[in-house]
Amino acid sequence: MQAKNPKESRTIVTDLVLPSETNPLNNLFGGELLARMDRAASIAARRHSRRIVVTASVNHVAFNKVIPLGSVVTVEAAVSRAFKSSMEIVLDVWIEDRESGKRSKANEAIYTFVAVDETGAPVRVPGIDPETEKEKERFEAALRRKQLSLVLAGKMQPQDATELKAIFD
């Protein structure tokens, strides 16, 4: 299978924040943002693999900034690295100032999706061929994050997490 560039999976979803999606402080409810990110990540994973994809884990979410009612929210997602059947998707969330149109980063997250067949069994996906410095950085760090996620999920023994050990040794 031929490796793909992260740009081939790039997915941009823009939507408003409506009253039914806010908390008592009139800011976007965290679960709503998680769902929007999950949808964008799933489209990116599907564009990369051209298979059925399922969310395997949410590895990192940082709710750095509140997103007020009425905001225009843009979620950008792209596959940063693909392994055998799993793909890491990095997400950036932006909000847009109503008057100036200037974008500011509100949140970021990292999700893992797995490509599966019709029976739900994992299937192979194409690799990733990063080009830009940012793509290369994200690609390199993805293995460390995968190992951390697997250790936390009890699916990998800490002593087998070579990338994590390298940080502490």
Ligand X SMILES: CC(C)(COP(=O)(O)OP(=O)(O)OC[C@H]1O[C@@H](n2cnc3c(N)ncnc32)[C@H](O)[C@@H]1OP(=O)(O)O)[C@@H](O)C(=O)NCCC(=O)NCCS
Shortest CB 86 distance to ligand X, Å = 3
Burial class (CB in 10 A: 0-12, 13-18, 19+), 141: middle
For residues 19 and 154, which CB has a smaller minimum distance to ligand X in the complex?
154
Binding status of residue 84 toward ligand X by CB under 6 A = yes
88 contacts 60 by C-beta, under 8 angstroms: no
Residue type, 60: H
Binding status of residue 120 toward ligand X by CB under 6 A = yes
User: Binding ligand X by CB under 6 A: which of 16, 18, 35, 153?
Assistant: 153
Binding status of residue 146 toward ligand X by CB under 6 A = yes
Q: Cα 88 from chain centroid?
A: 6
For residues 63 and 83, which CB has a smaller minimum distance to ligand X in the complex?
83
| Cα–Cα distances in angstroms (integers) from residue 66 to residues 19, 23, 26, 32, in the given order | 15, 11, 9, 13
> Which positions from 15 through 74 interact with ligand X, judged by CB under 6 A?
54-57
Q: Give the gyration radius of the chain's Cα atoms.
A: 17
For residues 61 and 69, which CB has a smaller minimum distance to ligand X in the complex?
61
* Separation of alpha carbons 95 and 86, rounded Å: 29
Binding status of residue 85 toward ligand X by CB under 6 A = yes
Given the structure tokens 């997103």, which residue do they identify?
A: 67
Binding status of residue 86 toward ligand X by CB under 6 A = yes
Shortest CB 112 distance to ligand X, Å = 4
CA-wise closest residue to 33 among 96, 75, 71, 89: 75
Chain contacts with ligand X (rule: CB under 6 A)? 54-57, 83-86, 112, 114, 116, 120, 122, 146, 149-150, 153, 155
